[in-house]
Amino acid sequence: MNQQQLHVPPLTLTNKVLIIVATVFFLASAILNTYAGISFDSLFGLSLSGILSAKIFQLLTFPFIQHGLLGMVFNCLIVWFIGSELEVHWGKSFYQKFLIANALVVAFVYLVISYFFWGSGSEVPLVGFECLCYAMLIGYALVFPDRYMTFMFLFPMKAMYFCLLLVAMEFYGTLVSPYSASAWVHLVALGFSFFYLKYLSMNARGKGLGDMFKKKTKRPNLKIIKRDDDQGPKYWH
């Protein structure tokens, strides 16, 4: 009897480091907040006031601040299952650059939004692994669109739809949470990941992003093959 088995990719080095760092931040934040009243959000979360106070490290630490055990576990599973496949496919160097570029673009957009909506003294922090997870999901949907995955271990679907469904679920959760202001910044992560990977793909084929929106013209499928002796019927293909 054939049984479907869950494919568990090996946890790659980069993603192992991401999960370990996120776990350390999560546990330290929970313990210090409970027993000492110290919040990691203002210290390691990204805010305009923090950057203006020379806390440049916030540009790279903000994704590791997690709220809620369930969200932490879910995001780490995405890093493991989706991120590990991407690192194997792309290679460690490109994968790391992709994640860093995504984090920096999201950080820049958030700081600009903070300045225009809340002023230079804004202390509203941006936190969470979601921006990196969204990037991984979009990347996986583009690289492995026709792979089949099982949603909730019951419903098989193509990886493209699976990843888009997870993105929709994550984004909905962000919208209904108290931190809904970050939802629009997460859209930046989705858009940047999509167009950046599409640009690299089109550039590798000698095309630009503009070609992605051009309507493809269908070539006629019929042609005449003429026999050398010019005898007999002509064949249409």
As given in the structure block, the two tokens for residue 126 are 């941006």
The whole-number pLDDT of residue 216 equals 56
The whole-number pLDDT of residue 181 equals 58
DSSP 208: -
The whole-number pLDDT of residue 130 equals 85
What's the pTM value of the predicted model, to 2 decimals? 0.77
Reading the chain (237 residues) residue by residue, the pLDDT tens digits are: 344 445 678 999 999 999 999 999 999 999 998 898 888 988 999 988 899 899 999 999 999 998 889 889 989 999 999 999 999 999 999 999 999 999 999 999 888 888 887 766 667 788 888 889 888 988 988 888 887 776 665 678 887 787 778 777 767 766 666 555 566 777 778 888 888 898 888 887 777 666 666 655 555 554 444 555 555 544 444
The whole-number pLDDT of residue 66 equals 87
- Give the containing element (helix H, strand E) for 55: none
Distance CA 89, CA 82 (A): 11
Using alpha carbons, select from 201, 135, 184 the residue that is nearest to residue 163.
Answer: 135
Are 44 and 58 within 8 A, CB to CB? yes
DSSP 211: G
CATH node for 13-213: 1.20.1540.10
Phi-psi region of 230 (alpha: psi -120 to 50; beta: other; left: phi over 0): left
The whole-number pLDDT of residue 168 equals 79
Distance CA 60, CA 103 (A): 7
Structural domain boundaries in the chain: 13-213
Distance CA 91, CA 99 (A): 13
